[in-house]
Amino acid sequence: MLQILRTRLNQGHRTTKFPLELPVLPQRFRGRPEIDGTKCPEGCRECADACPTEAIAVSGGLSLDLGKCLFCTACVDACPPGAIQYTTDYRLAVNRRKDMVLSTGDLKLAERMRDDLHRILGRALRLREVCAGSCNACDLDTNVLNTVGWDLSRFGIQFVASPRHADGLLVTGAIPRNMRHALIETYEAVPAPKVVIALGACAISGGPFAGSPEVNNGLGDLLPVDLYIPGCPPHPVTILDGLLRLIGKMPSAGDAR
């Protein structure tokens, strides 16, 4: 027993201090893309043609839809140096689907839920996660937030087993046809008022399966979405950043990079 206690003391504090301090990100971390259309040759479509999800548009100027982006770097490899590049900026969550289309690299980050919701849900948020046909990558990175390294519950956010005990849904996956009814039924079982979060490219736009008759091209066509968190999958720090913005617990220090 003494050996166990001694080992634990030597380990020290293992929970990240985010949002007051940014955790050490992986060397290959791919965050918010930066776009510089001035470096593109006139009439060039190399990046758009290389994108597997048609996330890039060149008509009317270069733009990139984060809701469709898989962060695969196919565009970076196809483009002239500096035209498109990924940064280490983990802040990606937004409130509106249209805010995910980048043309300059700027992004209107998510804001706190509206006042009437915040008055009821802002102090403690209980979420029911629905895996609607995902590959489980988004689910796994979400589950990481429940470990001692992140300790999501210290912010008053917890995942629950029943939608009747939840304040909202967190949805992953491309929502195949056979899951639509179950998803809508789960949403209806959540007591009002409630929030809906679309997590990952598949839930936001259908991801690599968009256009297939077997999947839905985005959760927003089925349910009113309050928060979009892009990525394939989003990093845990990106997910936590979005959740904290939604409930208004992101201090100004959390935006310092």
| In the predicted structure, residue 65 carries a pLDDT above the cut 90 | yes
Strand partners, 102: 64
Least confident range of 48-57, 58-67, 125-134: 58-67
| In the predicted structure, residue 187 carries a pLDDT above the cut 80 | yes
Residue 231's closest CA among 70, 42, 5, 17?
70
- pLDDT above 90: percentage of residues in the chain: 71
* Confidence (pLDDT) at 250: 86
Kindly report the number of other CB atoms within 10 A of residue 52's CB atom: 12
Per-residue model confidence as pLDDT tens digits over 196-233: 999 999 999 999 999 999 999 999 999 999 999 999 99
Q: pTM for the complete prediction?
A: 0.92
* Confidence (pLDDT) at 183: 97
Distance from C-alpha of 144 to C-alpha of 35, rounded to nearest angstrom: 31
Per-residue model confidence as pLDDT tens digits over 93-109: 999 999 999 987 679 99
Instruction: With beta carbons less than 8 A apart as the criterion, state whether 54 and 68 touch.
Output: yes
| In the predicted structure, residue 59 carries a pLDDT above the cut 50 | yes
* Confidence (pLDDT) at 256: 46
| Helix, strand or coil, per DSSP, at residue 48 | helix
- pLDDT above 70: percentage of residues in the chain: 96
Q: Which fold has domain 115-251?
A: Rossmann fold (3.40.50)
Instruction: With beta carbons less than 8 A apart as the criterion, state whether 37 and 96 touch.
Output: no
Instruction: With beta carbons less than 8 A apart as the criterion, state whether 141 and 233 touch.
Output: yes
| In the predicted structure, residue 252 carries a pLDDT above the cut 70 | no
* Confidence (pLDDT) at 257: 52
Alpha helices by DSSP H, listed for the chain, are: 2-11, 46-50, 74-78, 115-121, 137-143, 177-189, 201-205, 236-246
Position 60 confidence tier, pLDDT thresholds 50, 70, 90: confident
- What is the arithmetic mean of pLDDT over 18-32? 90
Distance from C-alpha of 193 to C-alpha of 256, rounded to nearest angstrom: 32
Residue 46's closest CA among 86, 37, 98?
37
* Confidence (pLDDT) at 11: 64
Q: What is the mean pLDDT of the chain?
A: 91
* Confidence (pLDDT) at 61: 81
Domain-by-domain residue ranges, the chain?
Answer: 115-251
Distance from C-alpha of 19 to C-alpha of 247, rounded to nearest angstrom: 14
Contacts 24+ apart (CB under 8 A), 142-148: 142/170, 142/172, 142/199, 142/236, 142/239, 144/236, 145/236, 145/239, 145/240, 148/14, 148/15
DSSP character at residue 95:
S
Q: What is the DSSP string of 121-187?
A: HSS-EEEEEEE-S--SHHHHHHHGGGSTTT-GGGGTEEE-S-GGG-SEEEEES--BHHHHHHHHHHH
